[in-house]
Structure 1
């Protein structure tokens, strides 16, 4: 009876494309005792579960045999720093130091040497070029037969081996040597391009400094950033990169978040504000309380999310995978028919048509087609992540571009999520004096409206005198004594009960309420001295973001649990339809109603209150500053909470799908052209492999353009 299961992780050399990943997965799945397999071409990581009685050596031998040497990695729950270091270190290296690089150089050198010797020693050309073929082909052939034994008989290596050996047999050894060399060059370029995609996302980890200044018993000591515990206080000097996710407990300064979120303008932050590891403190000394371990900081989660996203394939990618499973065997059948049918039935030359059949084998290599979609998706996911747009896989990336409606939550999504002072009306006193007296009463309160008043007083430079005998009047407001005067700050209803408001002032308060604003009346010695209006205001880019969605053909709508008056006022300022007073189940119902109307719906919210609607939508998008909920609840997340980034996600998706269509056209178009020219006798073996290699290079280069994507 098999023992209990164990988990194993390997970095697999040369696993740069879906074909390679498919061979690795097939080979490992066939081993007795293997229970489950996952592969990621972005990270070159193989993860499997197996019975305890399966020796790791058996897995490693199977991978070595198919030409993909494995390197054991620590388990996913390894201590912070260990796992990332091993992964990164393992993938480093120059192309000429890799196995593919050395083989390509050797094959090229053998080809050049054979050509030079053939020029100097006529009559031995065939043997010289055959030797050059052997240098590059023997490792390919070993991999081909190992893959066939492991369950992948129609691998690209097998097609290459048949074509090269056949060419040598019919006397085209020189072309066979060129074909082998060009094939290896194509494989090498594919690996280099895949490495670029990996490096693009992994380079984010380099943003986090290696050390941190930790405060301890009144002094600071430098220690490795990956060992700083949660709850520790770190000191961030001007110009330093922040070493951990945390919360500012002392100091105020501008934080450059561009490296993590793509936000070009530094964000001013003070006590209580969250900061991300890898961002830059520009102009003040900050003390930050660490809120996440190194393995769980924003950058680590972003990298992990993008890596895991590779395992979720887009619908287009799945279709191409299925197509390629039948395509390659079909190509072998067509090549065989081309080689034997004309000579047998029509009496044509065997040598000519076998040559054409071998060329068709090479033209039929599916590499360019198979890599057309995952290369573009990997590049797009990496580019989006570097700009704070996090998408959980190719399926999500593909779906977002098809949305026709976007249902937004209001609080914290279209708005800032906290009230701000919008109006200060004064009756016989200055704005500064009204703010000063109100702030004096609210000092020490944590109520959102109180915090808004205190923030506005600070921004206006209003002094905050001490208040005496200050106390709350439940349901009414706050009362106290300041400078010998009796001060009350509270609701308009409470002020009206005291007879403090005139008819004109009452009309002004009503007008503010109609605009969806909360109103506090300041009363001094029984007389109304001023009115302070507050509202959770729309984000600065909300109107621009909604207009950008409309320009893309996406209809935005607001779904909120807030009262209809406030919702209507915010919606009017943004030019959006509002549905208010909704419970979570109401939001879910409305999303389904929109879908029944034929719309493809994205739900944009905070990932907690909107969970039912996020689940019901075609795509759920969480708005948030890198919180666990924002990164883990929905299908996608906008890291820095900009409304216009939803439109950017749609644009990235549509740009990626256009790139994929271009790639498929290039891959199939070149094959169709060279298939026709080969049958007509215009092109031969080396143009055939050049077509395949060229298509792979063109498709990969086109996909890599997405790494430079800008909103």
Structure 2
């Protein structure tokens, strides 16, 4: 059909995601596309990133890409240690650890054996395994005793030493020494491994120096306590990291590894990785989809809560696309696969999470750089505390050595380093569970500052699907039902949005469409066809003859409401008016009210005509700019950016430039690939209530980061003074550091419960 009064948006397509490989990738493979960033756009979140914060680049020509799963990481600083160890190898052009998905990606020359990379990582104290697993570990419970054997044995030896020390003090002292040496062995080994791999000033180094110094001073009980508290702190960090990655682990477990494929009515169980677009699969009630697919049955219900955050099962009809990982609720169904292996909706989300981790918040990047010189600086300060008072003032060596060691432990940057990434990771995981993807700490920090949001209209504030709102009979004796039947008959088979709206409206009314022949599209005018020997037509008003003044006045009134009007005629005699309009999203008004309560104003930027824009904006109480080309939207964003911190929300290709120009771009989950790739955040569901939730979460995360930094630095400042004055000893110093880490971690984990 060719109605001249409507233009449709480009059809959304599934974004191609990076495939997680456990083997080498050919360097000539086409890399995942990224929108280029405007170097002049100083306000955009991308420009805050440094080169080190970018996601893994496409491998240099001639190199090979390797990928492994990493185990043994407790916090993001572990990722930096691995990158340092691998980056020092000859032939490695890039080494990136994606902490959220525990994946190491290395680009290296073909002459460099993967075993050399694995040895380098092993020498740094971490373990690599074959490839990314899509299932959560089931061995956690059975390995608990083995994983915690060091802490348990050290605590048992210290307990025994304390008891025996009450009876035989000298034996208790020797047992504390033995306990210290027992606990010191794995710590010093790790410190030596990290020093050899390029990280000499790790926390393990500080603990080793402090424990050895305490033994030298005869403070054996304190030396053992320092190591025990350090081990407990490491476990706490590991627990926090695991909790923060829980959302990612749950996502990876959503896609089943096996699927039922149907060929020539024969059912066969195959690996999910064997499925290809066009394959027919069968999914039973209670099972999840192994790939993105189109429903072949007439109707089925799906639980999509794991992907969209919507707890109520959604009904889908034949021809609708269902995302991988969705749960079939009510019946045995058949679907046609549409995604390649490794390129389904879950893979896209995982890739966005990996990209998010690479784009760290400015405050996080600052703390990371700060900590690189902070640790060696604190070691020099501690050395000065040990040497200067005895040498310059004749003070007691033992006293100031003890105070220097305490200062060394207080200077541990653990709590400070983890303060930001713990909050960011928790916030990103919470957002993912609630149907939102925020691409990293930088985007999270920018979201918190937003005070204005610009919205695209079609597909963002509206459904992007016109629907029949009015059917008015023009003084004819014919009934409205009969006229709707005729209109649907000549529109049947057309792919035009207005035609499909008329047919859908008739179907919803329970009308059986009549048979029409000689259906012919009239370019720029409408459509016509023959029914029972009579010529019926649906035309734009300006192409319809015989409209009287009252009818023209009614048409004008409907158009002023932002509606599109077409005229149904029989043998060129007008019989009815059909008015169609794009429908507002059901939650649009409520979402805008929530944003206003948060102090965020809205403006609508649309390419539609001013009448249609005014109708929608009037319903929502929004300011608007109409008849905008993509370049005009960019200019509008640029003008508004001079006064406000503005975000752009859209779903189409034409929205991408404006999204890039805004402080931060937010894509609707049903949007085009270009919009999703350009955006700094995305709603995996197309429900606008996710926007105020995303803003609230980002503001809570920023407040959490500030709280964490204050806790970390405040406790260190207090114990720094008390240690120099001799009021606190070694075990209180390490307790202060471990306690600060515990408080910071616990505070960050509160974000996981944020709704």
TM-score with structure 2 setting the length: 0.86
How much does 1:125 deviate?
2.7
- 1:653 aligned to 698, 705, 712, which one? 698
Residues 113 and 57 (structure 1 numbering): CA distance in 2 closer, same or farther, change over 3 Å? farther
Residues 89 and 55 (structure 1 numbering): CA distance in 2 closer, same or farther, change over 3 Å? farther
C-alpha contact 2:660 2:678 (8 A) present in aligned 1: no
Q: Deviations over 1:499-554 (max 9, x none)?
A: 2x333222211111111111122234665432211011221112222222232233
- 1:604 aligned to 629, 649, 654, which one? 649
- 1:549 aligned to 569, 576, 595, which one? 595
- 2:270 aligned to 211, 215, 223, which one? 223
C-alpha contact 1:202 1:303 (8 A) present in aligned 2: no
C-alpha contact 2:259 2:272 (8 A) present in aligned 1: yes
Q: For residue 511 of structure 1, what is the aligned residue in structure 2?
A: 557
1:33 matched to 2:91: yes
- 1:339-488 aligned at under 5 Å gives the runs 339-427=386-474, 428-482=477-531, 486-488=535-537
Q: Deviations over 1:630-688 (max 9, x none)?
A: 54332222121222322222222111111111111121122122222323333211111
C-alpha contact 2:295 2:317 (8 A) present in aligned 1: yes
Q: For residue 733 of structure 2, what is the aligned residue in structure 1?
A: 688
Q: Deviations over 1:466-522 (max 9, x none)?
A: 234444444433334445665332222333x1x2x3332222111111111111222
SS state of the match for residue 418, structure 1?
strand
How much does 1:138 deviate?
1.5
How much does 1:346 deviate?
4.3
Task: Report which stretch shifted further, 143-152 or 481-490.
Answer: 481-490
Q: 1 CA distance for matches of 2:330 and 2:205?
A: 61
Q: 2 CA distance for matches of 1:102 and 1:42?
A: 27
How much does 1:239 deviate?
4.4
Q: 1 CA distance for matches of 2:290 and 2:675?
A: 21
C-alpha contact 2:450 2:647 (8 A) present in aligned 1: yes
- 2:72 aligned to 5, 11, 14, which one? 14
1:675 matched to 2:720: yes
Q: 1 CA distance for matches of 2:523 and 2:631?
A: 32
Residues 119 and 615 (structure 1 numbering): CA distance in 2 closer, same or farther, change over 3 Å? same
Structure 1 stretches lacking a partner, 5+ long? 75-82
SS state of the match for residue 653, structure 2?
coil
How much does 1:130 deviate?
0.9
- 1:25-104 aligned at under 5 Å gives the runs 25-68=83-126, 70-74=127-131, 83-85=132-134, 93-94=140-141, 97=144, 101-104=148-151
Task: Report which stretch shifted further, 505-514 or 429-438.
Answer: 429-438
Residues 707 and 15 (structure 1 numbering): CA distance in 2 closer, same or farther, change over 3 Å? same
Task: Report which stretch shifted further, 484-493 or 608-617.
Answer: 484-493
How much does 1:368 deviate?
0.9
C-alpha contact 1:247 1:275 (8 A) present in aligned 2: yes
Q: Deviations over 1:568-589 (max 9, x none)?
A: 2111111112211121111112
Q: For residue 182 of structure 2, what is the aligned residue in structure 1?
A: 135
Residues 7 and 374 (structure 1 numbering): CA distance in 2 closer, same or farther, change over 3 Å? same
Residues 278 and 11 (structure 1 numbering): CA distance in 2 closer, same or farther, change over 3 Å? closer
Q: For residue 665 of structure 2, what is the aligned residue in structure 1?
A: 620
Equivalent pairs counted in the alignment come to 694
Q: 1 CA distance for matches of 2:160 and 2:652?
A: 64
C-alpha contact 1:626 1:640 (8 A) present in aligned 2: no
- 1:494-505 aligned at under 5 Å gives the runs 494-495=543-544, 497=545, 499=546, 501-505=547-551
Q: For residue 666 of structure 1, what is the aligned residue in structure 2?
A: 711
Q: For residue 212 of structure 1, what is the aligned residue in structure 2?
A: 259
Q: For residue 210 of structure 2, what is the aligned residue in structure 1?
A: 163
- 1:234 aligned to 277, 281, 293, which one? 281
How much does 1:71 deviate?
1.7
Residues 205 and 44 (structure 1 numbering): CA distance in 2 closer, same or farther, change over 3 Å? closer
Residues 225 and 599 (structure 1 numbering): CA distance in 2 closer, same or farther, change over 3 Å? same
C-alpha contact 2:136 2:250 (8 A) present in aligned 1: no
Residues 493 and 63 (structure 1 numbering): CA distance in 2 closer, same or farther, change over 3 Å? closer
Residues 431 and 343 (structure 1 numbering): CA distance in 2 closer, same or farther, change over 3 Å? farther
- 1:253 aligned to 275, 296, 300, which one? 300
Q: 2 CA distance for matches of 1:603 and 1:185?
A: 45
| TM-align CA RMSD | 2.6
SS state of the match for residue 335, structure 2?
strand
Residues 18 and 211 (structure 1 numbering): CA distance in 2 closer, same or farther, change over 3 Å? closer
How much does 1:120 deviate?
4.3
C-alpha contact 1:3 1:53 (8 A) present in aligned 2: no
Where relative contact order (Cα < 8 A, 6+ residues apart) is larger, the structure is: 2
Q: Deviations over 1:313-361 (max 9, x none)?
A: 1101011112212322232233233333444444443323322221111
Residues 92 and 401 (structure 1 numbering): CA distance in 2 closer, same or farther, change over 3 Å? farther
TM-score with structure 1 setting the length: 0.91
Structure 2 stretches lacking a partner, 5+ long? 1-59
SS state of the match for residue 537, structure 1?
strand
Q: For residue 32 of structure 2, what is the aligned residue in structure 1?
A: none
- 2:688 aligned to 643, 647, 655, which one? 643
Q: Deviations over 1:390-414 (max 9, x none)?
A: 1222212222222232222111111
C-alpha contact 1:23 1:152 (8 A) present in aligned 2: yes
How much does 1:703 deviate?
1.6
SS state of the match for residue 416, structure 1?
strand
SS state of the match for residue 642, structure 1?
coil
Q: For residue 77 of structure 1, what is the aligned residue in structure 2?
A: none
C-alpha contact 1:95 1:192 (8 A) present in aligned 2: no
How much does 1:292 deviate?
0.6
Q: For residue 576 of structure 2, what is the aligned residue in structure 1?
A: 530
Q: For residue 174 of structure 1, what is the aligned residue in structure 2?
A: 221
How much does 1:285 deviate?
5.1
C-alpha contact 1:251 1:287 (8 A) present in aligned 2: no
C-alpha contact 1:592 1:617 (8 A) present in aligned 2: yes
Q: For residue 363 of structure 2, what is the aligned residue in structure 1?
A: 316
1:115 matched to 2:162: yes
Residues 167 and 350 (structure 1 numbering): CA distance in 2 closer, same or farther, change over 3 Å? same
